[in-house]
Each structure stands twice: as C-alpha cells, then as structure tokens.
Amino acid sequence: MTTNDSGRRNFLMQALAAGSAVLLAGCDRLSRTEWFPQMLASAEKLSQGAQRLVTARKSMAQEFTEADLSPTFRSNGTANPDSPTYQALATKGFAAYRLAVSGLVENPRSFSLAELRALPGRTQITRHDCVEGWSAIGKWKGAQLSALLDAVQPKPEARYVVFHCADPMDEIGTKYYESIDMDDARHPQTLLAYELNDQRLPIANGAPIRLRVERQLGYKMAKYVMAIEFVSRFDHIAGGKGGYWEDRGYEWYAGI
Ligand SMILES: Nc1nc2c(c(=O)[nH]1)N[C@H]1C(S)=C(S)[C@@H](COP(=O)(O)O)O[C@H]1N2
Ligand SMILES: [Mo]
C-alpha cells in the first residue's frame, strides 16, 4: 500500500465513524440542518459499499432466545395513527383490513389478515436498533414477504417494494412510507408481522401489520402497512428518496 492509499483509507474510516456517531444522535433534531442530509448521502455511499464488502446480503441477522426478551417492547414514532380510516378499522379489531398489493406484479390483489396468516410464516427473536440510541429484543411472528412475492409474482422490472402506511405525520397528511430492494424482500427473516411476543401486534407497535427487515435500522420497519407497491424506481413517490425519514436526510440502506 502506498502512502497515498493509506491516507485515503484513513479518511474513509474517519468518514464512516463520523457517519455512525451522528446516526446515534437522534431523528428530529439533526435532520433539519442542511449539512446533515448531505453528509448522510455521502456516508451512505461509503457505508453501503463497505457493508456489501464485509457482509453477504443473504446473511441472517442474529437471533436470540426467550431469556433475552426485553421486559417491554417500547413504541416509537407513531403510537396510534391519527386517521379516521385507521380508527374505524381498529374499532372493529381490524376485521375489515385488507392489504392491497399493486404495481409491477403479475397478480395484483389484496390480502385479508386471515389470508396473510395462512401464508408460510416464521417466528424470530431479534434485536431492534433505533437511530435514537435504544434497542429492544422482541419475538415476531409473521408471513414471510417472500411468500407474498410468490403469490403476486413480481415482474422482472420490479426492483423495490414500497410500504404505504396509515399514519399521517403532519397537518397536511403526509403519510409514513418505506421501501426495500428485492434482496431484502426475499430474505427469509423479512416478515409482515402480525404478532409481537405471542400476542396480537399491539397498535403501539404497528397493528395489524408491520414490516420486519432485521438487518436494517428501526425506521425501515414500517408500521400500520396498508398497501404494498412494486416499482422499478421510487423518485416519483413523496420526496423521492424511498422513505419518510429518507426524504428528511436518513440513508436509504440502513444496514446494521
Ligand atoms: N408507520 C410508521 N412506521 C414506523 C415509524 C412511524 O412513526 N410510523 N417509526 C419507525 C421507527 S423510527 C422505529 S424505531 C420503529 C419503532 O417501532 P416500535 O414502535 O414497535 O418500537 O418503527 C418505525 N416504523
Ligand atoms: Mo427509530
């Protein structure tokens, strides 16, 4: 390695370290400054590349035992969506809930909760890491997203899965949303979860359906999922960065 190479490497390592330190500092405060989104955008390119080098995308997230479960799994972000449509569903125990699946698929259709429960599923005890600096270990049960893919048959042009949520985030009704790529969509631990710690998923944690995508940070795990859309790009959706927090400067690939 030449002197130049190692100088460049040190620079990269420092940039990566700075990126992760800032990530621990919190959702709201930093995203409003101008330099923060820009720095995250460049840190994302570095960390995504680094992640691809060191971790195969197919690797499994660590799983834990019942003894490791957190006494309570806290709620973060929206705890009860402020939307008449959602409240009407919740009042009737989500009996009328249907998950609409659209976009670049051969068989667009919707799923009732019973139909989602009937899909091949998985139970897993994993650790959830939020960028605000807390973690919790919980037991999740849900349909494997790969099973839903088998049912709807994504077209070859489909590159991303977008999750549209019920919760308005501001007065003008901007809704939470998220997206993942097809590698994560087909990963065995990627679930449309309907149970937390052997109970029906509580409203505070995303009832009736929330995404688990275990090798990424908490904000990727969309709660209150109402619709799923398969797309080839997401620059036309909301702020164009692939998620509610991404539109406010967070990195799209939030690998841990
Ligand atoms: N729809 C929706 N999904 C969301 C959020 C939200 O506010 N709305 N917050 C995200 C963040 S930042 C985290 S850490 C987790 C929190 O999940 P929990 O409430 O089960 O702890 O949900 C994520 N998914
Ligand atoms: Mo979070």
For residue 35, being part of any structural domain is answered with no
What are the strands of the beta sheet with 109-112, ordered from one edge? 109-112, 98-103, 225-231, 160-168, 175-181
What CATH number does the domain containing 98 carry? Answer: 3.90.420.10
Q: Measured between alpha carbons, how far is residue 240 from residues 77, 182, 200, 252 in Å? A: 21, 18, 33, 11
Give the pair of three-digit tokens for residue 222: 């969309």
Query: Which pLDDT score, from 0 to 100, does residue 198 have?
Result: 98
Which residue has its alpha carbon closest to ligand 1 atom 24?
A: 222
For residue 40, being part of any structural domain is answered with no
**Structural domain boundaries enclosing 184:** 63-243
Query: Which pLDDT score, from 0 to 100, does residue 58 have?
Result: 83
Model confidence over 148-205: pLDDT tens digits?
A: 999 999 999 999 999 999 999 999 999 999 999 999 999 999 999 999 999 999 999 9
Query: Which pLDDT score, from 0 to 100, does residue 57 have?
Result: 76
Q: Which amino acid does the sequence have at 6?
A: S
The most distant pair of C-alpha atoms in the chain lies apart, rounded to whole Å, by 67
CA of 243, nearest ligand number: 1
Model confidence over 93-142: pLDDT tens digits?
A: 999 999 999 999 999 999 999 999 999 999 999 999 999 999 999 999 99
With 50 as the cut, is the pLDDT of residue 32 above it?
no
Ligand 1, CB within 6 Å, residue ranges: 74-78, 130, 165, 167, 176, 205-206, 218-219, 221-224
The domain tally of the chain equals 1
pLDDT band at 42 (very low <50, low <70, confident <90, very high): low
For residue 149, being part of any structural domain is answered with yes
CA of 244, nearest ligand number: 1
The mean of the pLDDT values for the chain is 88
For residue 132, being part of any structural domain is answered with yes
For residue 227, being part of any structural domain is answered with yes
What average pLDDT does range 36-65 have in this prediction? 70
What's the CA dihedral at 169, 173, 174, 177 to 10 degrees?
70
Atom of ligand 1 nearest to the CA of 27: 12
For residue 248, being part of any structural domain is answered with no
pTM of the shown model? 0.82
